[in-house]
Homo-oligomer: A and B are copies of this chain.
């Protein structure tokens, strides 16, 4: 009943394989055939077939009309939509959010993407209660906030255009990035550094530093801090950026274990 390596882990092989299929199909943008599944899992075609049938019966996989290969199905969608995901992330991340706020002695925020915006789902305030911006529940633009750019970090220019391209990027301040090209460059830099900076790009006299929270190599949210320019000079970028990254990675790790 268990794998070779750990005789003490009582897990169910066929369920595990089914879940692996879901993840494989979910990650590849294109649809996957039975034969490919069999190859990827190293199992027989007939087995792959039976797995696929089972997953489709429950609506976790579906086929495009007329085709035989598989995409994620509506059950996945229905479950994920109904669920209060923010709650999960908030539950797991809140202690570290507070930690970050006290470490740096500024306001810290937790955010996720919602459509074409950033949604702030939690915050923690340091004793210094000028209690700034970005209250929980607010929506802000993606292209000119540290959280937004952190969430976009892994997107290439094409994906950015698909997501934001319909309307031109609105200019909020003189620092706002207004072209997709420039935003793509910025994202590349964020990937390199690990954190995103908003230097008064959304509101005057407000700087933020945020880092993407990753799970299974996908960005699922961001965490960061905000402060007026006077308290967040350039010279502190790398120190604070490091701290934010560490916390973001820690939260990613907690999601993995999530126990």
Contact = CB atoms under 8 A, between A and B. Distances in A.
Contacts of A256: 59
Given A65-B92, A216-B59, A82 B27 contact: yes
Nearest to A58: B19
Contacts of A78: 26, 215-216, 218, 220
A115 interface: yes
A26 B110 CA distance: 24
B139 A115 contact: yes
A54 B11 CA distance: 5
Nearest to A53: B11
B76 A11 contact: no
Contact of A12 (B1, B18, B63, B85): B18
A83 B76 contact: yes
A215 B55 contact: no
Contacts of A22: 79
Contacts of A63: 258-259
Contacts of A18: 12, 15, 18-19
A62 B21 CA distance: 19
A140 to B, nearest CB: 12
18 contacts: A10-B49, A10-B50, A12-B54, A15-B15, A16-B54, A16-B57, A19-B58, A26-B79, A63-B259, A65-B91, A65-B92, A74-B88, A74-B220, A74-B258, A78-B218, A78-B220, A81-B218, A115-B117
